[in-house]
A and B are shown apart, each in its own frame.
Chain A
């Protein structure tokens, strides 16, 4: 059974536009019917550019957002509909590491307090041995050296390791990694990425890895889901998706990744205003393959190859398999 099963997750934000907000509420749909599953011990990468809804997905999975629909099943229990006590238990098993370690650590707290905070909140104050253990796990040794430091006394990489130590101190099952290396120098980044791998081996963690960097996704993830404007346009095993992208957006993303060796596909225009998403396929205004139908119908999700799903009417005109053009919808 998968550890985390997300079904038709939709996240909206109320938008206040001047006086009109007074009369009617408008909503920006940041995540639109996204589904995926994450097996125990596995890693799923949510890939996409900023504003595509990947961070909102992560926060919604933790039950931290309002205006959320769909189901988030953690070990079969719906996080969005849990009672207070059950949710508390869930919070012990699911933790998050944020992008910016300068923002995610309270500047007035020492490392000891930051890493001990999960223990304090979950009334396990007695287990201070875990504190040092967690710091060592996160690669901060000797732990005694770091315990009484304030965040401003640490480097960016060390701060992120403190955030990671705080995230694993309760020995969780699921870790949401929200762009955890995007704010770090390249030299530090590699160390942190390796740390995630080691932690997964040692603690059996499952990662929901949110990133805009395909190379990072390739390094860490077993599976990827590519998001565009709140929609998961392509999903599948990492190797499969990255070597045989089916969706034109994935192709374009891959082509501009450094060292891809592909011909660069520069997309026309910008990501549309999410308040007024284009009709039909959300990608059609920028899509090199778009035809009449793309602006009228929403493409359904189809399984183009085993485990490889895509939302596009005209997949794989490439060298892979000519018969795949216009595959039959699976629903």
Chain B
């Protein structure tokens, strides 16, 4: 813990990441209360259709005259929920697979790792497209699909860490006491891999947010919610790029970029603190 604090204290990137992610998390919580309009409310006047930014609509309106600022604010919550939940699924699945494979070794390890490899060898977005098409375009299914394609990293990391921890003397001592494998994995291995899992989760969150934008842009998003990816999808369908309605797609795009950058900064800083190869204050972006 001390190393982590120190890493964030000394790294401007770490601080920037915390600040960016912090702002978006606050926005996700209070968003619906501060959004100026209902994001679904269509315009009554023809002038309010695809209107450029004005005092009434700081980020303009879409082809139905809906307020884009309100959409982006509402989208923050959906996007972060998708990103964090998918990352949580990914690291839980990955950690269970990795720790099990690493601790038991042998045939089980070989089998689990070949499964992991086969997931790794497939382009994950294609896999996610297949899963969402099969399960249907709901928020839960999108989270599940992204989680199920992003767990491989966590599995690899926790397996490697487990291999090293299970050789430690305190594990041998626990075995001498008569502890079973599940006790040892829970009480001795898991607490020592969790920091790495946590660092990995921040990275997977940014990947999950990107994946969601990707899926939504391809038309596989949940059409009943405004996520940033969905907003960009609608902008694309409307032809916002060709008619020069930059206010339609740019805000959501910038938000995606900022959040992904924020999570990546945090993840790199954690990595620096936890990964002995990266210590000594090298900045890795």
Q: Which A270-321 residues have a C-beta within 8 angstroms of B?
A: none
Q: Is A91 an interface residue (CB 8 A)?
A: yes
> Are A98 and B178 closer than 8 Å at their CB atoms?
no
- Binary flags per residue of A81-98, CB closer than 8 Å to B gives 1, else 0: 000000110011011101
> Are B176 and A62 closer than 8 Å at their CB atoms?
yes
Q: Is the interface of B mostly helix, strand, loop or mixed?
A: helix
> Are A64 and B172 closer than 8 Å at their CB atoms?
yes
Q: Is A25 an interface residue (CB 8 A)?
A: no
Q: Is A32 an interface residue (CB 8 A)?
A: no
Specify which chain A residues have a CB less than 8 angstroms from the CB of B191 in the assembled complex. Answer: 106, 108-109
> Are A103 and B176 closer than 8 Å at their CB atoms?
no
Q: Which A100-138 residues have a C-beta within 8 angstroms of B?
A: 100, 103-109, 117-118, 121-122
* Complex partner residue of A122 from B168, B178, B188, B192, CB under 8 angstroms: B178
- Binary flags per residue of B153-176, CB closer than 8 Å to A gives 1, else 0: 000000000000000111011111
* Complex partner residue of B169 from A87, A98, A121, CB under 8 angstroms: A98
A299 to chain B, nearest CB (A): 34
A151 nearest in chain B by CB position: B170
Specify which chain A residues have a CB less than 8 angstroms from the CB of B168 in the assembled complex. Answer: 103
Specify which chain A residues have a CB less than 8 angstroms from the CB of B173 in the assembled complex. Answer: 96, 98, 104, 163, 166
Q: Is B243 an interface residue (CB 8 A)?
A: no
Expressed in whole angstroms, the Cα–Cα distance for A109 and B183 within the complex equals: 14
B35 to chain A, nearest CB (A): 43
Q: Which of A88, A100, A117, A122 has the most CB of B within 10 A?
A: A117
Expressed in whole angstroms, the Cα–Cα distance for A268 and B191 within the complex equals: 49
B183 nearest in chain A by CB position: A121
Q: Is B177 an interface residue (CB 8 A)?
A: yes
Expressed in whole angstroms, the Cα–Cα distance for A107 and B168 within the complex equals: 11
> Are B174 and A117 closer than 8 Å at their CB atoms?
yes
* Complex partner residue of A91 from B172, B176, B183, CB under 8 angstroms: B176
A66 to chain B, nearest CB (A): 12
Known contacts A106-B170, A108-B192: does B176 contact A121 (CB below 8 Å)? no
> Are A106 and B178 closer than 8 Å at their CB atoms?
no
> Are B177 and A95 closer than 8 Å at their CB atoms?
yes
> Are A91 and B177 closer than 8 Å at their CB atoms?
yes
Specify which chain A residues have a CB less than 8 angstroms from the CB of B130 in the assembled complex. Answer: none
* Complex partner residue of B170 from A64, A92, A103, A121, CB under 8 angstroms: A103
Expressed in whole angstroms, the Cα–Cα distance for A105 and B187 within the complex equals: 12
B173 nearest in chain A by CB position: A104
A94 nearest in chain B by CB position: B176
Q: Which B12-70 residues have a C-beta within 8 angstroms of A?
A: none
A27 to chain B, nearest CB (A): 18
> Are A92 and B178 closer than 8 Å at their CB atoms?
yes
Specify which chain B residues have a CB less than 8 angstroms from the CB of A118 in the assembled complex. Answer: 177
A105 nearest in chain B by CB position: B170
Q: Which A64-88 residues have a C-beta within 8 angstroms of B?
A: 64, 87-88
Q: What are 28 A-B contacts defined by CB distance under 8 Å?
A: A91-B176, A91-B178, A94-B176, A96-B173, A96-B176, A98-B169, A98-B172, A103-B169, A104-B169, A104-B170, A104-B172, A104-B173, A105-B170, A106-B170, A106-B187, A106-B188, A106-B191, A107-B192, A108-B191, A108-B192, A117-B174, A117-B177, A117-B187, A118-B177, A121-B174, A121-B178, A121-B183, A122-B177
Instruction: Give the top 7 A-B pairs by smallest Cβ distance, nearest first.
Output: A91-B178, A103-B169, A108-B191, A104-B169, A106-B170, A96-B176, A121-B179
Residues of B at the A interface (CB closer than 8 Å) are 168-170, 172-179, 183, 187-188, 191-192
